[in-house]
């Protein structure tokens, strides 16, 4: 299918001064064929989208979430992390069935699409059902089966991870990728992690792990091993494989150097870290060292939404006030974190994260004809500091129109909302 998006403002995220006013984008199949300023080349197109008063930009890449935890949204709020996990989240998760995971994941996908996310990295269980949801919905998913190395299911988790890879990696026209998902250093001891590392090497895939999320984790790992969590992962050999490290809140300067030297991708989750009082990650310092720091929402039970526009704004504001420097993390850098940095952290920057010829046609169109978008002195700043999920008008993933005029075209949104609500009610009976 060929698509022409005409007369549109474009933020390709290829540089802070790369904005194109009154430009065009040509899509051929699942790729961007051409992008430019002025009048589009003459031709016959299957679909023409009028971009008047709209802006196109790369779809957001949510680099850390637990999609099906939408079913736990609002169930356990205002609690410390470990108490939240041990007394509320883990007991309720024990009740979840495969069908529950499917509907919870579909609910997350509705929310993500309607707020401009085109790709997400997920770690959970019953991952066949998450993969099915990704395949049916048209979104892009990088999926890992969560693995607890100290529990009775540690062997099963390794086996299921290998099966997930065999069954789903590069499926759905390449929209599904797989990673391995050891939960964290405090639930996966070094000997178990070494088995995970070996499996990742055999399969040729990366590793997605929670790392240095809380002060308690940092102190407990130091007490047990005499090393920081990052140093322990370095010595265990984790970083010999492509690694996506979620959170990275409690780091030493040596830890930051280790992450940079090993090209570890970091998923920064500011709203989850704020809500659980985990702390503030040293994002400006990591960015200065060249670490691809991206954005994630974490699960909807600790955020409580999957809105990357909101996450982007929170990120920029949080680090300004934390450093008492209003120039830290400007709007364009926050947008990079939500797009191209996400692609880099996932090892997919040769495919997505920017709008340029040859990359996958993953993009969103936002409606600028909104009171909070006027005046338009700086469209980029408007998006980062004023943009709302409801401004996302059209979502294109892999060259396919998934949402248009805020209506999802690929599946029945109303059915998803109804089934998710039924599932949630059953869980708490």
CATH top class, domain 60-345:
alpha beta
Provide φ and ψ at 412, rounded to 5°. -90, 100
Is residue 153 helix, strand or coil? coil
Q: Retrieve residue 378's tokens.
A: 């700086």
Q: What is the C-alpha radius of gyration for the chain, rounded to an integer number of angstroms?
A: 21
**Which pairing describes strands 20-28 and 2-10: parallel, antiparallel, or unpaired?**
antiparallel
Cis peptide upstream of residue 304 (ω within 30 degrees of 0): yes
Which whole number is the average pLDDT over 236-262? 98
User: Which pLDDT value is given to residue 82?
Assistant: 84
Quick: pLDDT tens for 18-53.
999 999 999 999 999 999 999 998 889 999 999 999
- Range with lowest mean pLDDT among 39-48, 208-217, 383-392, 400-409: 39-48
Quick: pLDDT tens for 370-387.
999 999 999 999 999 999
Measured distance CA(182)–CA(194) in Å, rounded: 11
CA angle, corner 299, sides to 416 and 145, nearest 5?
Answer: 90
Provide φ and ψ at 383, rounded to 5°. -65, -45
Quick: pLDDT tens for 271-287.
999 999 999 999 999 99
Which whole number is the average pLDDT over 383-410? 98
Which whole number is the average pLDDT over 124-128? 97
Quick: pLDDT tens for 225-244.
999 999 999 999 999 999 99
User: Which pLDDT value is given to residue 20?
Assistant: 98
Q: Retrieve residue 74's tokens.
A: 């609002």
Superfamily of 2-59+351-407 according to CATH: Urease, subunit C, domain 1 (2.30.40.10)
Quick: pLDDT tens for 77-121.
898 888 988 998 889 999 999 999 999 999 999 999 999 999 999
pLDDT above 80 (res 146): yes
Which whole number is the average pLDDT over 173-188? 98
CA distances from 400 to 2, 146, 304, 340, 426 (A): 10, 30, 29, 20, 35
For 220-229, the CB contacts below 8 A with 24+ separation are 220/186, 221/185, 221/186, 228/252, 228/254, 228/255, 229/185
Measured distance CA(352)–CA(164) in Å, rounded: 23
Residues in Cβ contact with 311 at an 8 Å cutoff, skipping those fewer than 6 apart: 269, 270, 271, 295, 296, 297, 338
pLDDT above 80 (res 429): no
Provide φ and ψ at 87, rounded to 5°. -100, -20
Domain boundaries, given as residue ranges, for the chain:
2-59+351-407, 60-345
CA dihedral 318, 113, 64, 257 (to 10 degrees): -60
User: Which pLDDT value is given to residue 381?
Assistant: 97
Residues in Cβ contact with 322 at an 8 Å cutoff, skipping those fewer than 6 apart: 280
pLDDT above 90 (res 366): yes
User: Which pLDDT value is given to residue 85?
Assistant: 85
CA distances from 129 to 17, 68, 194, 285, 414 (A): 42, 10, 28, 38, 19
Measured distance CA(405)–CA(321) in Å, rounded: 36
pLDDT above 90 (res 134): yes
pLDDT above 80 (res 172): yes
Burial of 162 (0-12, 13-18, 19+ CB in 10 A): middle
Residues in Cβ contact with 30 at an 8 Å cutoff, skipping those fewer than 6 apart: 173, 360, 361, 398, 399, 400
- Topology match between the domains 2-59+351-407 and 60-345: no
Burial of 178 (0-12, 13-18, 19+ CB in 10 A): buried
Percentage with pLDDT > 90 across the chain = 94
């Amino acid at each position: 299918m060929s698509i022409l998006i005409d007369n549109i403002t474009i933020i390709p995220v290829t540089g802070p001064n790369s904005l194109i006013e009154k430009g065009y984008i040509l899509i051929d199949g699942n790729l961007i064929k051409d992008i430019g300023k002025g009048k589009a080349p003459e031709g016959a197109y299957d679909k023409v989208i009028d971009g008047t008063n709209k802006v196109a930009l790369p779809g957001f890449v949510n680099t850390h979430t637990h999609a099906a935890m939408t079913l736990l949204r609002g169930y356990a709020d205002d609690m410390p992390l470990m108490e939240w996990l041990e007394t509320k989240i883990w007991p309720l998760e024990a009740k979840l069935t495969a069908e529950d995971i499917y509907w919870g994941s579909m609910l997350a996908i509705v929310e993500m699409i309607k707020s401009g996310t085109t790709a997400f990295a997920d770690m959970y269980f019953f991952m066949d059902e998450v993969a099915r949801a990704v395949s049916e919905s048209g979104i892009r998913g990088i999926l890992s089966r969560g693995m607890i190395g100290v529990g009775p299911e540690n062997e099963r988790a390794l086996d299921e991870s290998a099966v997930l890879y065999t069954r789903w990696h590069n499926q759905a026209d390449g929209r599904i990728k797989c990673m391995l998902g050891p939960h964290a250093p405090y639930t996966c001891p070094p000997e178990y992690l070494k088995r995970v590392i070996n499996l990742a090497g055999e399969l040729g895939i990366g590793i997605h792990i929670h790392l240095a999320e809380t002060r308690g984790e940092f102190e407990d790992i130091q007490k047990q091993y005499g090393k920081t969590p990052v140093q322990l992962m370095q010595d265990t050999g984790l970083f010999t494989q492509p690694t996506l490290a979620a959170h990275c809140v409690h780091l030493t300067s040596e830890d930051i150097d280790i992450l940079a030297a090993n090209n570890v991708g970091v998923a920064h989750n500011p709203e989850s870290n704020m809500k659980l009082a985990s702390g503030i990650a040293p994002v400006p310092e990591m960015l200065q060292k060249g670490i691809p720091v991206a954005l994630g929402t974490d699960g909807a039970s600790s955020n409580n939404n999957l809105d990357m526009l909101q996450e982007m704004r929170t990120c920029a504001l949080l680090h300004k006030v934390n450093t008492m420097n209003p120039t830290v993390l400007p709007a364009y850098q926050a947008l990079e974190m939500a797009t191209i940095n996400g692609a880099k952290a996932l090892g997919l920057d040769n495919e997505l994260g920017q709008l340029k010829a040859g990359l996958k046609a993953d993009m969103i169109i936002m409606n600028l004809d909104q009171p909070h978008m006027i005046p338009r002195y700086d469209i980029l700043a408007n998006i980062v500091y004023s943009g709302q999920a409801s401004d996302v008008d059209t979502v294109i993933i892999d060259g396919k129109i998934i949402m248009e005029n805020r209506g999802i075209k690929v599946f029945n949104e109303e059915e998803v909302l109804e089934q998710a609500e039924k599932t949630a009610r059953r869980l708490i009976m």
